[in-house]
């Protein structure tokens, strides 16, 4: 999927800093979101995702930086600007559904329009349209308490989008649902967002959700941004060992760059308990000759063979090979290191086999430690 991030910024967060006492919860975070895009803030618990979202919503003041949406300054402490949250025209969907139990689904979804004095006839049409969009037309007359978890989450979403806000913010909205419903809802949610075209920022610690739904992913750790990119970029070209490890599975080995060639290519040397290998690789930005780096290789990008072919490869011993039907999940010992490999089931492997790992230089990365 092509990144849409070249479009003009609609949301602009620049140099955001937020302190809680002596804890710098958000530490110089900057990013932009083009109009209509779906961007995910992804990172482990406590990395500052909710704080960033709350700052955009105006539920937190900030200590430095500025926040702009659609050309309007929302927060800029340096200039004394702080737009109150109710003026920001932002829709929010949280983990807890926060829909009113004493109201029907229709009443819940109509409420934000009533608050804005929208004429009755228009309310009826808009509510019916939104309920159809989220698949709740059938249960429109039910009380919110009579809905399943997934339906309540849809009702909360309908209520957030019905006023057509400038921006939608989601904070882990699917984490209360069971796995199956969650998988279904994440596809649904992306479809609905696409249809209504509202610019959205989604917060999660779940990388699979981020990969499925996002136009762009912003990986955070300890209040800082580690990398921004579309899902493909984040997965296949991680900038550093943290991102490699947080998104998907990777073989990570400390090494040193021993050669730098054209177009981001080079060579990395790795060593493990008496073993040594020099491997052609791609270099992440900012890595030069002689630099310490981390070798990062996804298990699906390693080929296990019984021959050493003509290319440079890593020689090891099979520790385990589990047949999974469409692939073999294999562990190969090299010095003290265990390579994780997903290989084609055509290759018959047995414990103790001496094998050669063939690494594709395009998918063998030297990343920042
Ligand atoms: N109201 C608050 N008062 C004091 N400290 C806070 C407050 N809110 C957050 N923090 C601290 O700020 C840091 C970032 O918290 P935040 O809630 O933004 O994390 P998060 O990425 O949303 O995590 P999670 O995935 O667990 O929701 C944490 O160290 C947290 O303890
Ligand atoms: Mg949070």
- Termini Cα distance of the chain: 28
Quote the CA–CA distance of 11 and 14 in Å, as a whole number.
10
The band of 4, judged by pLDDT with boundaries at 50, 70 and 90, is: very low
Ligand closest to CA 220: 1
Tokens of 32: 């932009």
* CB of 175 closer than 6 angstroms to any ligand 1 atom: no
Alpha-helical segments (H) within 14-104? 49-57
How much is the pLDDT for 16?
98
How much is the pLDDT for 97?
72
182: pLDDT strictly greater than 90:
no
Ligand closest to CA 41: 1
Tokens of 37: 């895009």
Q: Residue 47 C-alpha to ligand 2 middle, in angstroms?
A: 8
Ligand 1, atom 12, residue with closest C-alpha: 25
Q: Residue 43 C-alpha to ligand 2 middle, in angstroms?
A: 10
Residue 350 φ/ψ, nearest 5 degrees: -125, 150
Ligand closest to CA 20: 1
Tokens of 5: 């991030």
Ligand 1, atom 20, residue with closest C-alpha: 46
| Range of lowest pLDDT (59-63, 85-89, 179-183, 280-284) | 179-183
> For residues 280 and 269, is the Cβ–Cβ distance under 8 A?
no
Ligand 1, atom 7, residue with closest C-alpha: 20
Give all domains of the chain, ordered by start, each with its CATH number.
9-236 (3.40.50.300), 241-367 (2.40.50.100)
Q: Residue 221 C-alpha to ligand 1 middle, in angstroms?
A: 12
| Cα dihedral 357/362/363/365 (nearest 10) | 100
What are the C-alpha distances in Å from 153 to residues 97, 304, 333?
Answer: 6, 45, 47
pTM of the full predicted structure? 0.91
Per cent of the chain over pLDDT 90 is 78
* CB of 361 closer than 6 angstroms to any ligand 1 atom: no
Q: Residue 22 C-alpha to ligand 2 middle, in angstroms?
A: 19
Q: What number does the ligand 1 atom closest to the CA of 26 have?
A: 14
Ligand 1, pocket-test mutation among 24, 47, 94, most atoms within 8 A of CB: 47
How much is the pLDDT for 18?
98
Q: Name which of 112, 123, 121, 126 is nearest 196 in CA terms.
A: 126
Residue-wise DSSP of 202-244: EEES-HHHHHHH-SEEEEEETTEEEEEE-HHHHHHS-SBHHHH
Where b means 16+ CB within 10 Å and e means fewer, 257-287 reads beebeeeeebbbbbebeeeebebbbbbbeeb
pLDDT digits (tens, 9 = 90+) for 100-124: 889 999 999 999 999 999 999 999 9
pLDDT digits (tens, 9 = 90+) for 207-235: 988 898 899 999 999 999 999 999 999 99
Q: Residue 211 C-alpha to ligand 2 middle, in angstroms?
A: 19
Q: What number does the ligand 1 atom closest to the CA of 49 have?
A: 21
What are the C-alpha distances in Å from 321 to residues 248, 300, 310?
Answer: 20, 14, 25
Give 82 or 153, the one with higher predicted confidence. 82
What is the helix (H) or strand (E) element at residue 192, kind and residue range?
helix 179-196
206: pLDDT strictly greater than 60:
yes
2: pLDDT strictly greater than 50:
no
Hey, which of 50-64, 148-162, 200-214 has the most confident mean pLDDT?
50-64
pLDDT digits (tens, 9 = 90+) for 356-367: 999 999 999 999
How much is the pLDDT for 232?
95
How much is the pLDDT for 6?
57
How much is the pLDDT for 95?
81
What are the C-alpha distances in Å from 313 to residues 116, 241, 265, 355?
Answer: 66, 22, 17, 10
């Amino acid at each position: 999927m092509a990144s849409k991030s070249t479009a003009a910024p609609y949301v602009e967060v620049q140099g955001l800093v937020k302190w809680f006492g002596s804890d710098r919860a958000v530490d110089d975070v900057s990013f932009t979101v083009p109009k209509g895009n779906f961007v995910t803030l992804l990172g482990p618990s406590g990395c500052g995702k909710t704080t960033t979202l709350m700052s955009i919503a105006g539920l937190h003041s900030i200590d430095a930086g500025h926040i702009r949406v659609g050309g309007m300054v929302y927060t800029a402490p340096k200039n004394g600007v702080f737009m109150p949250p109710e003026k920001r025209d932002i829709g929010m969907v949280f983990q807890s559904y926060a829909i009113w139990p004493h109201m029907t689904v229709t009443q819940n979804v109509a409420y934000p329009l009533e608050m804005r004095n929208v004429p009755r006839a228009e309310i009826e049409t808009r509510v019916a349209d939104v309920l159809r969009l989220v698949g709740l037309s059938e249960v429109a007359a039910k009380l919110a308490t009579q809905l399943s978890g997934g339906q309540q989450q849809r009702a909360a979403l309908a209520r957030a989008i019905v006023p057509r806000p400038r921006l939608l913010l989601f904070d882990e909205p699917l984490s209360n649902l069971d796995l199956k419903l969650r998988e279904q809802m994440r596809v649904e949610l992306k479809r609905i967002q696409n249809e209504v075209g509202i610019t959205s920022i989604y917060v999660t610690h779940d990388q699979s959700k981020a990969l499925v739904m996002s136009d762009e992913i912003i990986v955070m750790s300890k209040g800082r941004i580690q990398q921004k990119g579309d899902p493909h970029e984040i997965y296949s070209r991680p900038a550093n060992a943290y991102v490699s490890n947080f998104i998907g599975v990777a073989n990570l080995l400390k090494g040193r760059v021993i050669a730098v060639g054209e177009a981001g290519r080079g060579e990395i040397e790795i060593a493990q308990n008496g073993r040594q290998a020099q491997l052609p690789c791609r270099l992440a930005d900012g890595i030069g000759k002689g630099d310490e780096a981390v070798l990062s290789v996804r298990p699906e990008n390693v080929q296990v063979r019984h021959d050493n072919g003509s290319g440079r490869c890593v020689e090891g011993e099979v520790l385990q090979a589990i047949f999974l039907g469409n692939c073999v999940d294999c562990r190969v010992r090299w010095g003290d290191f265990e390579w994780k490999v997903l290989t084609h089931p055509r290759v018959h492997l047995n414990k103790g086999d001496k094998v050669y790992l063939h690494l594709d230089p395009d998918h063998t990365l030297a990343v920042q430690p």
